[in-house]
Amino acid sequence: MPKARIVVVEDEPAIRRGVADALRLSGYDVTETADGQTGLREAAAAGVDLVLLDIMLPKVDGLSVLAELRRANPTRPVILLTARGSEDDRVRGLKMGADDYVVKPFSAKELIARVEAILRRTMKPVPEVRRLCVGTGAIDLQRRELRWGDGSRAELSELEAGLLKYLVSNRDRAVSREELLSRVWCIATAGLETRAVDMHVARLRAKLRDPLGGDDQPDAIVTVRAHGYMAGPALVAAEVAKV
C-alpha cells in the first residue's frame, strides 16, 4: 500500500524541517512548502492524505488557505499549527472545517499521534487485488504475469502491475493522471507535466488485447475525458486478499 502523503505548510524553516523529518522517520511521504500560495497548490493536489497548515503564513494566510482548500477538497484532513495565544484563530479554524490543531511549541510525539489518529479515521484500507481476469486471460499481479487462453504469456512491469491494481481497486470512479502519478509512481505532481501515464496506459492496453478476442473487444482500461482513466468492464478482479 502506498505511504500516506502529507503536505507541511510552515514558514519557519526550523519548525518545517523538524516536522517533515519526524513524519519521514515515521514512514510518511512529505512535501514541504513555506508560504500560503504554494501551500494551497500543494495541499489541493491529487493524492494528498493530510495537510499540516500553519496559520501565520506569507503571501496567503493559513485560514484563507483552509477556506480555499475546503471549497476544492471538502473532506481533505487538515491539522492547524497555531501559536499558543491564538485561541480565536483556532476556534475559527475548527469552525471552518479543520480537523484538529496543535499548539506551538509541540513535541514530535504529540504531532505524530494526532496525525495517526486522523489517518486511521480517514484512510480506508484498500483490499489487495492479487489476480485479475481479462477476456480469456488471467493476470497474476504478484508474479506480474499475464497468461492467455491460447497458451501465450506476457510479463508486466512493476508500474504496469501497480497501475492495474490501483485502477481495479478504485473501479467505481475515474482516476486522474495526477493521482496515478502520486499513488503508483509515488512522485509529487504539483506543476509537473508528463505523458508518462498516457504512454504506460497505451502500452498496457496493447498487452491486454486478447489474442482470441477479435477486433471489437472492449478496452480493459477506459479513458474518461477530462477526468482520467478507469478499469473497463472487461477487467475483473478474480482474487482479493482480505483487509
Q: Would you state the pLDDT for residue 243?
A: 46
* CA–CA gap between residue 181 and residue 197 (Å, rounded): 7
* Fold entry, domain 5-122: Rossmann fold (3.40.50)
CATH topology identical between 5-122 and 128-241: no
CATH number at 128-241: 1.10.10.10
Domains of the chain, residue spans = 5-122, 128-241
pLDDT in tens, the chain (243 residues): 457 889 999 999 999 999 999 999 888 889 999 999 999 999 998 788 999 999 999 999 999 999 999 998 999 999 999 886 677 888 888 899 999 999 998 999 999 999 999 998 888 766 688 999 998 999 999 999 999 999 999 999 999 999 999 999 888 888 888 888 878 887 765 555 678 899 999 999 999 999 888 777 888 999 998 889 999 988 988 876 654
